[in-house]
């Protein structure tokens, strides 16, 4: 099946129009016309091969919202016309313990990412997967999500990565009323963390270096702001947090944040994949604190997150762009110059 999108062909190449093949529909497949696709920082790292292992040509995009155009004969959950989403995963082994528990993102045999992954289905390794900066995609039913019709579909697209990445740890560590929760960093992930933790009933504190970002966070639902550069305020806030969601996207010193946790408190890293600065054993031993990490979410939990957002009317704050401006949007994302996610209007592919 012919598809049309944007790809780059080397780490230094700009994204540009690209025609390619999608697989023919199989009995459990859902064919989707893509309406919107968010720009995640991971798209940029991968396009520029900053994490290694990028296969070219490379089509990014794993925050996909679109309409079903056709379904295979074994598909039961979807029909043509349904509003659906696709996130970071399009397949997994489906039989390991993690897959059985609906935690496909921890598949013990390696999951298939929406882009830049080997498409293992059918046992014939062929081309790598191509992401959502394109007009259509073919995805196995298990990896397709229902999008609540009351939400703006464009602003819903980033929920498929930024939303679930923050929702999953908030749920896993049972964040809720009566708890003081800190969201560290205000970008694509942090702004969703604030909205979701607030909707779950927690007392939300934005922890940021920038007073201006603190002001923005209050508009998103934060109850308080803690400026992490203010040494005195950090001392006052020590031992007071039940949970910290750390969305800082680069390696950094986590020690000052660990000190903010109460006894038995947990800080979860969702942004940084680089080395963290040496951590002292003292904050762990003396207060039985935990430092943990979390990766996106499985399919059942991603659907739960979308339904939760539908009930609470939560979407991302976005800036919509034409696909021809995607390279400019990449540069602005790297500079942190976006509130808080770019979303590509895929209808603009027609003009390129
Ligand atoms: Zn992402
Ligand atoms: Zn598995």
Task: Note whether 251 and 274 are within 8 A (CB).
Answer: yes
Q: Which of the pair, 196 or 276, is modelled with greater confidence?
A: 196
Q: Which pLDDT belongs to residue 89?
A: 96
User: Is the Cβ–Cβ distance between 243 and 196 less than 8 Å?
Assistant: no
Ligand nearest to the CA of 299: 2
Q: What is the mean pLDDT of residues 319-341?
A: 96
CB 160 within 8 A of CB 184: no
From the number of C-beta atoms within 10 Å of its C-beta (0-12, 13-18, 19+), residue 236 rates as exposed
Query: Closest ligand to 111 CA?
Result: 2
Q: Which ligand is nearest to the CA of 91?
A: 2
**CA–CA distance, 217 with 221 (Å, rounded to integer):** 6
Centroid of ligand 2 to alpha carbon of 117 (angstroms): 15
Question: In angstroms, rounded to a whole number, what is the distance separating the alpha carbons of residues 239 and 97?
Answer: 37
CA of 197 to the centre of ligand 2 (A): 29
Side by side, which strands form the sheet with 290-293? 224-227, 203-208, 180-184, 241-246, 261-269, 290-293
Distance in angstroms (rounded) separating the CA atoms of residues 238 and 30: 50
Which residues keep their CB under 5 angstroms from ion ligand 1?
40, 42, 161
> How far is ligand 1, taken at its centre, from the CA of residue 62, in Å?
6
Ligand 2 centre to CA of 296 (Å) is: 15
Write the CB contacts of 335 (distance below 8 Å, at least 6 apart in sequence).
none
Question: 316 near 162, Cβ under 8 Å?
Answer: yes
User: Taking 50 as the threshold, does the pLDDT of residue 123 lie above it?
Assistant: no
Question: Which segments of 144-281 does DSSP mark as H helices, in order?
Answer: 153-156, 162-172, 188-199, 211-220, 231-236, 255-258
Confidence at 105, pLDDT banded by 50, 70, 90 = very high
- Closest ligand, as measured to the CA of 95: 2
CA–CA dist 41, 69 (Å, integer): 29
pLDDT of 124 higher than 70 = no
Q: What is the pLDDT of residues 162-192, one digit of tens each?
A: 999 999 999 999 999 999 999 999 999 999 9
Instruction: Provide φ and ψ at 236, rounded to 5°.
Output: -60, -35
Q: What's the pLDDT at 273?
A: 85
Phi, psi (5° rounding) for residue 294?
-155, 140
In order of their start, the domains of the chain are 2-161+318-351 (3.90.180.10), 163-293 (3.40.50.720)
Name the closest ligand to CA 62.
Answer: 1
Kindly report the average pLDDT of the chain as a whole number: 95
Report the separation in Å between the CA atom of 282 and the middle of ligand 1, taken as the mean of its atom positions. Answer: 34
The pTM is what?
0.96
41 CA distance to ligand 1 middle (Å): 6
**Residues in CB range of 257: below 8 A, 6 or more apart:** 182, 184, 207, 228, 244, 246, 267
Q: Is the pLDDT of residue 125 over 80?
A: no
């Amino acid at each position: 099946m012919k598809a049309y999108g944007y790809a780059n062909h080397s780490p230094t190449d700009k994204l540009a129009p690209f025609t390619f093949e999608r697989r023919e529909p199989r009995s459990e497949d859902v064919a989707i016309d893509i309406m919107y696709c968010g720009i995640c920082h991971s798209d940029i790292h991968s396009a520029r091969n900053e994490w290694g292992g990028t296969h070219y040509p490379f089509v990014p995009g794993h925050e996909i919202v679109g309409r079903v155009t056709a379904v295979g004969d074994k598909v039961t959950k979807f029909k043509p016309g349904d509003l659906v989403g696709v996130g970071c995963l399009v397949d997994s082994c489906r039989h390991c313990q993690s897959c059985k528990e609906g935690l496909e993102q921890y598949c013990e045999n390696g999951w298939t990412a929406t882009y830049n992954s080997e498409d293992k289905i059918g046992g014939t390794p062929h081309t790598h997967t191509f992401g959502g900066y394109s007009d259509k995609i073919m995805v196995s039913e298990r990896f397709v999500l229902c999008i609540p019709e009351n939400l703006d579909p464009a602003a819903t697209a980033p929920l498929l990565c930024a939303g679930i990445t923050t929702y999953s740890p908030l749920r896993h560590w049972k964040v809720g009323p009566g708890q003081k929760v800190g969201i560290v960093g205000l970008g694509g992930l942090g702004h969703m963390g604030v909205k979701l933790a607030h909707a779950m009933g927690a007392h939300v504190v934005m922890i940021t270096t920038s007073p201006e970002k603190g002001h923005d966070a209050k508009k998103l639902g934060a109850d308080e702001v803690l400026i992490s550069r203010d040494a005195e305020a950090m001392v006052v806030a020590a031992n007071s947090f039940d949970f910290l969601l750390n969305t800082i996207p680069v390696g950094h010193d986590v020690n000052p944040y660990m000190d903010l946790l109460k006894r038995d408190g947990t800080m979860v890293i969702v942004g940084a994949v680089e080395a963290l600065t040496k951590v002292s054993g003292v904050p762990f031993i003396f207060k039985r604190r935990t430092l943990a990490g979390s990766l996106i979410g499985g399919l059942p939990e991603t659907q739960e997150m979308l339904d939760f957002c539908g009930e609470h009317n939560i979407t991302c704050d976005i800036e919509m762009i034409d696909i021809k401006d995607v390279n400019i949007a990449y540069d602005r994302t790297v500079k942190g110059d976006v509130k808080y996610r770019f979303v590509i209007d895929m209808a603009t592919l027609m003009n390129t």
